[in-house]
Chains A and B, each alone.
Chain A
Amino acid sequence: MFGKLTINAIPWDQPIPLIAGAVVGLTLLAVFIWVVIKGHLPYLWREWITSVDHKRIGVMYVLLGLVMLLRGFIDAVMMRSQQALAYRAPGYLPPHHYDQIFSAHGTIMIFFAAMPIMIGLMNFAVPLQLGVRDVAFPTLNSTSFWLTATGALLVNISLVVGEFAQTGWLPYPPLSELPYSPGVGVDYYLWALLISGAGTLMTGINFVTTILKMRAPGMRYMRMSMFCWTALASNLLIVAAFPILTATLIMLVLDRYLGFHFFGNEGGGNMALFINLIWAWGHPEVYILVLPAFGIFSEVISTFSGKPLFGYRSMVIATLGICLISFIVWLHHFFTMGAGSDVNAVFGIATSVIGLVTGVKIFNWLFTMYGGRIRFKTPMLWSLGFLVTFVIGGMTGMLLAVPPADFELHNSLFLVAHFHNVIISGVVFAGFAGVVYWFPKAFGFRLHEGWGKAVFWCTLVGFYVTFFPLYVAGLLGMTRRLQHYDVAEWRPWVLAAAVGVVISGVGMLCQIVQLVVSIRDRVALRDETGDPWDGRSLEWATASPPPAFNFAFLPDVKGEEPYWAMKQRAIETQHLAAAGEYQAITMPKNSATGFMTAFFATVTGFGLTWHIWWMVGAGLVLAYAGFVWFAWRDEDEYAIPASEVQRIDGERRRAREEWLARNANVSEAA
């Protein structure tokens, strides 16, 4: 009846996951009960869960990402404290548990923290910057989000029902094959990633279509903001790379479920095939994450320097260059697997070419600041922290790209320090910068500056104190994923890293305080005009938060930085451009398709993990029925009447006129 699932699947003998699971479960239950009692459920259902508005979906993606970031961070705290305690001692986490933690940490951080934050920010900002009303396929967008949430849910269910993979975040066979991983851990991993991977692929298709086909009138390619360019490149990479991941994982599924021999030790299986395939996806994945991050920094540095981005064309070329080259460097993840010297050298050199184009970007950001009037708001601090920190991470990456150097640093803590260096300074800093930057656009009030700066300094210092000692430990030969160790020379560095985690933890707390304080002080922090940072791209042209239709009139784009040009014209002439005649706007209707499909996908994934075949069948049929039902719907759009559009846009115009008048007084006084 329940396949492999029995009551013993719950780890009764392990207090840590049990208590953690209970706390999370009770918190969720409490939140749910509070929502029901307060009568917020219909609002949540109507405005968020079934919403197909790209802005709402973007916010939900970022929220999911931040919650999972917290979960991944707790894993990190456990790993670092285990290693701090486990010098010639067993520590407090046995291998069975410790191995799950580092596997879950990597999986969650990449797939369910970094990806949702980046995709969420793209969802929120790209249609606004393109000057359009939504993405190409709004319901598909909602489905993408909920399928990602399914993956996150499955990984977190594994905390209390069964176990998670004990293979590392990429389940290298033969370790991940049945003989060596007979439990359900790898199965949780596979189905979580296959389901959320389908969602990510749909996001890629959606955004490539949106950017290629749905720009505002006059928004030519070479007038798009840098963030739109990097979003395009990133989504092209998703479309090209995610099918490789799906195919690779399906081959592992076939090995585990149906006795195939793609990667195992029997029947001519070859693990090197898996390792090549997974990195053929895995390396582009790095750029899927970091390209939108580069876009965010481009926006932030240009805005807070009060200047256009320097070398726009070079930046576009560099972005597309990274997009292409990222597909021909995968072998640098396994120089030590015994490929010949020609092969190693070619992939090493290809990798350094990525260093070239990234270097170009760094210099262009520098010259964007040159001759500017730089305001040190929180997003700009993150960007400066990024510029300094990322260069160091890039340099250690280039060291690892030299095969003979990699021969002694591969899989060491030096490698761990390197990729945390680039991912934290690149993706995480960008995520935080993007959240602070676009938060007022999404919610109508800014985040508290002082607490934002506290987050920045704690995170920055925490990063350096955690990972620079790990560089040293790696040079001393300490390999990654050790549950305990006996070497005295490594110990001081491991202890130092544990101190760093504490500092980062304070940063995490400040993050929560920042959110609470900002919500409390939201009236004082209100963004009246919709342009809190003196922005340059189109998202600042509309109100904060933007109306469902984004723009009453699609902007007429006449050059780069269209909003900056509009604003300058308004300041010169002292009034806004005249509004045209308001017309009704049709917008896509809400749809429960995404939520229902994902719900049944969760049921299917759980059934597949535990071999509960009736559950698999029911889940698949109902998930399929969900979108057949969607395809047969009669009405898919609703109209916002012209009077309503006029009323909403009128408010925005009034706020802007007031701002113009205030601004004029200021300049006269000066």
Chain B
Amino acid sequence: MIQPQFLAVAPLTAKAKTSLFALDPALGVLDPQGPVAAGNSQILLNALAIMLMIVVPTLLAPLAFAWWFRASNKRAIYRPEWAYSGRLELIVWGIPLLVILFLSGVTWIGSHDLDPARPLAEEAKPVEIQVVSLDWKWLFIYPDEGVASVNEIALPTDRPAHFSLTSATVMNMFFVPQLGSMIATMNGMATQLNLKADRPGNYLGQSSQFSGAGFSDMHFVLRALAPDSFTQWTAEARKSRLALDESEYLALARARATSPTLFYGSIDRALFERIAARRLTSEAGPISAPARTIE
């Protein structure tokens, strides 16, 4: 039902269909491609650095103590009664306390600066994207552009993106490792996320919350595009003869399987609110044989 119409859409490039092989190297959080990921990684490294100052000596000390105080070492002093020292106790409590004070500062400031719901400090108006996780695919709705897509998402590199996310079925997590912060998608609720891509590229997106038999196929491509290319992308999507209305959505939701990339040229703008408020629900159909995305 979906397949023939899909073929009517001119794909952007031959690579764009569903293949993940066109992705940029998936280096995850070690390769931040946007301000949020950079912030996440920076905090990770800061916290690591703070802790390594105490962890490295603590790792070496048991080995050193065990070696020096081995029973056969006659040069080591033996203090069979020694079990208390006020001064050492002070150090024992003091050093970890200092470390966690530092770390708590990082935690408090970081949690507020990098709150997923907090708008990014950017001049440009964010692109609004509504995300619905389905069994086992992702639906992305662009209410302002009037288009929607499945398993492919595009962002312009000159504007941040604001995501509202919900789930038509079970819990999932929306995660593009190279852009940073993941967030849960849950039925009957809408979560918020703000991300930005700094450079053009094709990044791996995935669900990071196990969601059933088709979970391993529940990935998507995030295309970070130069402003012109993004406009072109939305224009191409708008050419699709598919319309995302209630019946089309329910058909998509009912098919419990992964999906090839789809584009919708027109959308029902109230759809997301109705899904998030549980006013448009679909029963869980039978599980289709898990499809492989590999050609």
- Which A residues lie at the B interface, using CB under 8 A? 88, 90, 94-96, 99, 166-168, 172-175, 179-180, 265-266, 269-272, 305-312, 314, 334, 336-338, 340-342, 344-345, 348-349, 352-353, 355-356, 359-360, 362-376, 384, 387-388, 391-392, 395, 398-399, 401-405, 407-412, 474-490
Q: In chain A, what residue has the closest Cβ to B103?
A: A352
Tell me if A349 and B55 are in contact (CB < 8 A): no
Instruction: Return the contact of B208 from the options A266, A410, A484 (Cβ within 8 A).
Output: A410
CA distance A371 to B173 in the complex (A): 52
Tell me if B100 and A395 are in contact (CB < 8 A): no
Instruction: Return the contact of B177 from the options A175, A374, A408, A481 (Cβ within 8 A).
Output: A408
Q: A310-B83, A479-B208 are in contact. Are A337 and B44 (CB under 8 A)?
A: no
Note all chain B residues with C-beta closer than 8 A to A353.
100
Interface 9-mer from B4-12, B85-93, B225-233? B85-93
Q: A371-B78, A387-B62, A480-B210 are in contact. Are A402 and B180 (CB under 8 A)?
A: no
The contact string, 1 if C-beta is below 8 Å from chain A, for chain B 11-47, is: 0000000001101011111100000010111011001
Instruction: Return the contact of B278 from the options A175, A265, A308 (Cβ within 8 A).
Output: A265
CA distance A373 to B91 in the complex (A): 24
5 closest A-B pairs by beta carbon, nearest first, are A477-B28, A477-B177, A359-B96, A371-B79, A345-B111
The contact string, 1 if C-beta is below 8 Å from chain A, for chain B 197-212, is: 0000000101111111
Tell me if B96 and A360 are in contact (CB < 8 A): yes
CA distance A371 to B89 in the complex (A): 16
What are 17 A-B pairs at a CB distance below 8 A? A94-B290, A99-B210, A265-B188, A271-B171, A306-B80, A311-B92, A344-B111, A356-B99, A362-B58, A363-B96, A366-B61, A374-B66, A374-B71, A405-B110, A412-B28, A484-B292, A486-B293
CA distance A478 to B216 in the complex (A): 11
Instruction: Return the contact of A180 from the options B106, B182, B212 (Cβ within 8 A).
Output: B212
Q: In chain A, what residue has the closest Cβ to B281?
A: A265
Note all chain A residues with C-beta closer than 8 A to B80.
306-307, 371-373
**Is B169 part of the binding interface, using a Cβ–Cβ cutoff of 8 Å?**
yes
Tell me if A410 and B292 are in contact (CB < 8 A): no
Q: In chain A, what residue has the closest Cβ to B118?
A: A341
Tell me if B111 and A272 are in contact (CB < 8 A): no
Instruction: Return the contact of B97 from the options A356, A384, A404, A479 (Cβ within 8 A).
Output: A356
Q: In chain A, what residue has the closest Cβ to B214?
A: A95
Note all chain A residues with C-beta closer than 8 A to B213.
95-96, 99, 166
Tell me if B44 and A476 are in contact (CB < 8 A): no
CA distance A166 to B91 in the complex (A): 48
CA distance A404 to B236 in the complex (A): 36
Tell me if A371 and B69 are in contact (CB < 8 A): yes
**Is B116 part of the binding interface, using a Cβ–Cβ cutoff of 8 Å?**
yes
Q: What total count of A-B pairs have CB within 8 Å?
A: 310
Q: A405-B47, A476-B27 are in contact. Are A483 and B215 (CB under 8 A)?
A: yes
Tell me if B208 and A411 are in contact (CB < 8 A): yes
Q: A172-B171, A477-B28, A477-B204 are in contact. Are A338 and B191 (CB under 8 A)?
A: yes
Note all chain A residues with C-beta closer than 8 A to B181.
336, 404, 407-408
Note all chain B residues with C-beta closer than 8 A to A404.
39-40, 43-44, 110-111, 113-114, 181
Q: A363-B92, A372-B69, A399-B48 are in contact. Are A481 and B210 (CB under 8 A)?
A: yes
CA distance A359 to B62 in the complex (A): 13
Which of A266, A405, A482, A488 has the largest count of B CB atoms less than 10 A from its CB?
A: A405
Note all chain A residues with C-beta closer than 8 A to B281.
265-266
CA distance A337 to B187 in the complex (A): 12
**Is B178 part of the binding interface, using a Cβ–Cβ cutoff of 8 Å?**
yes
Contacts A342-B112, A395-B55, A489-B25 known; list 13 others, CB within 8 Å: A95-B214, A99-B210, A174-B169, A307-B81, A312-B83, A314-B92, A362-B58, A384-B62, A399-B44, A404-B110, A407-B181, A411-B209, A482-B215
CA distance A477 to B32 in the complex (A): 11
Instruction: Return the contact of B44 from the options A345, A348, A392, A405 (Cβ within 8 A).
Output: A405
Tell me if A352 and B175 are in contact (CB < 8 A): no
Note all chain A residues with C-beta closer than 8 A to B191.
337-338
Note all chain A residues with C-beta closer than 8 A to B209.
172, 411
CA distance A269 to B170 in the complex (A): 12
Note all chain B residues with C-beta closer than 8 A to A366.
58, 61-62, 65
Q: In chain A, what residue has the closest Cβ to B211?
A: A175
CA distance A411 to B181 in the complex (A): 12
Q: How far is the CB of A271 from chain B (nearest CB, A)?
A: 6
Note all chain A residues with C-beta closer than 8 A to B145.
none
Tell me if B93 and A314 are in contact (CB < 8 A): yes
Q: In chain B, what residue has the closest Cβ to A481?
A: B210
Q: In chain B, what residue has the closest Cβ to A409?
A: B29
Instruction: Return the contact of A403 from the options B23, B107, B173, B177 (Cβ within 8 A).
Output: B107
